[in-house]
Amino acid sequence: MAQLNPKLSHAEKARDCHCVTQDFNSCISYYSISNNSAVGRFRMEESEAKRLSLELMEASKAAYLTTIGPDGFPYTRAMTNLRNKSQKPQLISLFRDHQEDFLIIFSTNTSSTKVKHVRENPKVSVYYSDPEKWQGVMFGGKIEVVPEVELKRVIWEDGMERYYPSGYDDPDHTILRLRPRMAKGWDGQKFTTFAFKIS
């Protein structure tokens, strides 16, 4: 492990590390010097990482779904976050037993580009964040198209008919379900990275 550069003040170290807290002592546990630039970080404990990940899932205003197109490029779009407790309190019970597997569900149009993408390549990532706190988590795995009419009914709410005129069982209404296999994230409050696998 590289030694601290004694010529830099705490403020300079925090600045060079892009530490948003400006509190060097609390935000990094090791410090390396490369080409006269400082980079600091430490790994978060898995239990804390999972707790933060759930908090972000349940508070993020949107979920950002990235699929891979036939041209090999990633396509990212904002999706309604069905796990947001304040926006979707009626769905809290749906996810109550999914605190450990981080289940993700989306409602979308069957005719959408994203559905075409995942039918050809189910590998996706989903990102949740709190920009004001510089916190975020990305989940990765293989997503699936779910033909469960009952699940469509459960997540249905007034206003969705503008997307699905025929109701929750509209042929153009599709449910996507991701059981993520991994998560990677960042906590800018503590200048911390984290990663964990999901069984």
Q: 52 with 36, same domain?
A: no
Its sign, for the CA torsion 150, 85, 185, 131, is: positive
Ramachandran angles phi, psi of 122, nearest 5°: -75, -5
In a domain, 26, yes or no: yes
Q: 114 with 191, same domain?
A: yes
pLDDT tens, per residue, the chain with 199 residues: 344 455 555 445 444 444 444 443 433 333 333 334 334 456 789 999 999 999 999 999 999 999 999 999 999 999 999 999 999 999 999 999 999 999 999 999 999 999 999 999 999 999 999 999 999 999 999 999 998 999 999 999 999 999 999 999 999 999 999 999 999 999 999 899 999 999 8
Burial 63-91 (b: 16+ CB within 10 A, else e): bbbbbbeeeeeeeeeebbbbbbeebbeeb
Q: 30 with 99, same domain?
A: no
CATH number, residue 75: 2.30.110.10
In a domain, 5, yes or no: no
Q: 119 with 165, same domain?
A: yes
Q: 121 with 159, same domain?
A: yes
For residue 120, count CB atoms less than 10 angstroms from its CB and return exposed for 0-12, middle for 13-18, buried for 19 or more: exposed
Indicate the pTM of the whole model.
0.80
Q: 57 with 33, same domain?
A: no
C-alpha to C-alpha distance for 16 and 153, rounded to whole angstroms: 51
In a domain, 1, yes or no: no
pLDDT at 43: 75
In a domain, 84, yes or no: yes
Domain boundaries, position 30:
10-40
Q: 66 with 87, same domain?
A: yes
Task: Domain count for the chain, please give it.
Answer: 2
pLDDT at 177: 98
Q: 32 with 119, same domain?
A: no
Q: Which of 150, 153, 157, 158 is nearest to 168 (CA)?
A: 153
Residue 195: alpha-carbon gap to chain centroid: 12
DSSP for residue 75: E
Q: 33 with 127, same domain?
A: no
pLDDT at 5: 52
Q: 77 with 173, same domain?
A: yes
Q: 150 with 55, same domain?
A: yes
pLDDT at 88: 97
In a domain, 98, yes or no: yes
